[in-house]
Amino acid sequence: MEEQHIASAFDRDLEAIQARIMKMGGLVEAAIMEAARALETRDEELAQKVRAGDKAIDGLEELINEEAARVIAIRAPAAVDLRVVLSVMKIAGNLERIGDYAKNIAKRTGVLIQGHDTTESAAALRRMAREVELMLKDALDAYIQRDVELAGDVITRDQDVDQMYNALFREFLTHMMEDPRNITPCMHLHFIAKNIERMGDHVTSICEELIYLVTGSRPEDDRPKADITSVTAQEV
């Protein structure tokens, strides 16, 4: 009877933490799309909202980590249950990093608004951000449903994001070579594209965490990466 009571208490604690994860995920999804929309529409007020909203995301990560640590200390979960709690902490960390990238995009938007017209590139970046936002939504659904197949599908879709990044990278290089005046805005746009590409990497990390949680093992092969510009990008 006592063991059942402890298990029930652990389940309630875990449900509360996972509810915070979903709330955090919702805030991050909104931040991704609002940052991209602010860039495309040149909306400084919306960009400021994204920057300010990052504090709430950071606060939730801290709260989740505190609650997870308390559960470990009080409930002393066994191996499988411990893996669940640790996965929550890792997922919260990935969500926090995605939120940071959204904030960075919003910061650069303020600079770009003062410069050249970047409407065409901003529209492409918004499409790329939309794909990452959809990936994140599916990743969180996969986590709640313990759906390994959906998680694997999301990991595969990250290749599409990498390909979009590659295309934009080449486009920005072309613009910079055509006219030196394009260098500054294109550099900002490139870093925004890289931020979005990194968001996709963190989404795949969430999926890999779910696969490990369910199966007890990491994916055997390194996840497929289609970003062929990483070395060059660091040199630019």
Which stretches of the chain drop beneath a pLDDT of 70?
A: 1-7, 115-118, 219-236
Give the model's pLDDT for residue 226. Answer: 63
Give the model's pLDDT for residue 116. Answer: 64
The region, left, alpha or beta by phi > 0 then psi within -120 to 50, assigned to residue 221 is beta
Provide the mean pLDDT of the chain.
89
Give the model's pLDDT for residue 232. Answer: 44
Radius of gyration, alpha carbons of the chain: 20
- Cβ–Cβ < 8 Å for 32, 199: yes
| DSSP calls for 12-50 | HHHHHHHHHHHHHHHHHHHHHHHHHHHHHHT-HHHHHHH
Give the model's pLDDT for residue 113. Answer: 80
Distance CA 188, CA 196 (A): 13
What tokens does 87 get?
Answer: 């996965």
Hunting for tokens 């402890």 — which residue is that?
Answer: 6
The region, left, alpha or beta by phi > 0 then psi within -120 to 50, assigned to residue 129 is alpha
Instruction: Dump pLDDT digits (tens) for 189-203.
Output: 999 999 999 999 999
Q: Which of 196, 232, 146 is nearest to 33 (CA)?
A: 196
CATH of the domain at 180: 1.20.58.220
Instruction: Dump pLDDT digits (tens) for 146-202.
Output: 999 999 999 999 999 999 999 999 999 999 999 998 899 999 999 999 999 999 999
Q: How many domains does the chain have?
A: 1
The region, left, alpha or beta by phi > 0 then psi within -120 to 50, assigned to residue 146 is left
Distance CA 144, CA 11 (A): 14
* Residue-number span of the structural domain to which 210 is assigned: 2-235
Give the model's pLDDT for residue 7. Answer: 61
